[in-house]
Structures are given as C-alpha cells and as structure tokens.
Amino acid sequence: MRHSFLLFIFSILSSVFIYGEKNAREIVITGNDAMQFDLKKMEASAGENIKITFKNVGSIPKIAMGHNWVLLKKDTDALAFGQKVLASGGSATNALPKSLLGEVIAHTQVIGPGEAESVTFKVPSEPGDYQYVCTFPGHFAMMRGVLLVR
C-alpha cells in the first residue's frame, strides 16, 4: 500500500513538472567571451510559462569566463545588484550568493564554454521591465538585458 501511495505522489509531481516544461515557450540566449548576451531584450506575456535556455558560446575556461543568467525582480537594478553580489562575497565559484536570492525570479548556474542550462518559470503577472544580468564577478557591467513583460 505504501509503495502504491508513493508511486501515486511521484506520478502527480512528475506530471506537474512535465506539464509546466512542456507548455513553456523556449527562448535561447547566449553569452560569449566578450561578456555579451546575444539578446539585450526579450518579451513575454504576464503569467506565461517560459523556458530560458542559456548557452555559453565562448572558449575561455569557466573559472575565468563563466556565465550565468539571472532574472531580477521588478525595479531591481542590474548594476546595483551586481555590486551587492560582490559585497556579499560573490566569486567565480559562488557567483550568486544565497543571501540575495530574495531579489531573483529565476536563474541558471554558472556554465563554462560549450555548456548550456535551462530554467523554466512563470513570468510575473505584473507588466513592466525586469532586468537580467550575469553575476560572474565583474560581468554585470556589460552583461545585462531586459525582459519586457506585457
């Protein structure tokens, strides 16, 4: 009986996860060795499920030129957030300190050359501009963009 109950719970959780993933619109964005995102602006509908697939198309090793993609809450400035990351001990091996996750909607881990990572999330219901940034040390000065929520 216990086995059946656990299987039932697992199937429900799996279908919820797969459903969200399956119905999410995918946006692919890249980061390179020149510390640039290829997309400086993205658009989404309020409440929409989207899947961001982030790819590092550079060739410099991860420890020196890793990248991540971090979507910030509305009215959070990417430059100011990047400074907070540094002040909170952000480093090449800890590019997004846990103490700052309250200002983040969604994020990927830091990835190296040739790697990719995806994150699926529900777009905020409040229209507006939501900034995104790479929080690898120093990259926030150049690797920024905006998700326009309509």
Domain annotation covers residue 36: yes
DSSP track, 2-46: HHHHHHHHHHHHHHHHHHHHHTPEEEEEEE-TTS-BS-SEEEE-T
Establish if 8 belongs to a structural domain.
no
| 82 beta partners | none
In this structure, what token pair is assigned to residue 35?
A: 């510390």
127 CB-contact burial (10 Å; exposed 0-12 / middle 13-18 / buried 19+): middle
In a domain, 50, yes or no: yes
- Looking at residue 13, its pLDDT comes to 44
- 13 lies in some domain: no
The pLDDT confidence band at residue 129, using thresholds 50, 70 and 90, is: very high
Q: How does pLDDT run across 97-118, given as a tens digit for each residue?
A: 999 999 999 999 999 999 999 9
How many domains in the chain? Answer: 1
For 38, the domain range is 25-149
The mean of the pLDDT values for the chain is: 90
Within a domain: residue 31? Answer: yes
CATH number of the structural domain spanning residue 36: 2.60.40.420
For range 40-60, the mean pLDDT: 98
pLDDT score of 25 more than 50: yes
In a domain, 68, yes or no: yes
Give the pLDDT band (50/70/90) at residue 20.
Answer: low
**DSSP of 50-79:** EEEEEEE---S-HHHH-B--EEEPTT--HH
The predicted-structure confidence for 67-100, as pLDDT tens digits, reads as follows: 999 999 999 999 999 999 999 999 999 999 999 9
What does the chain come to in residues?
150
What pLDDT does 147 receive?
Answer: 98
Any domain includes 19: no
Domain presence at residue 20: no
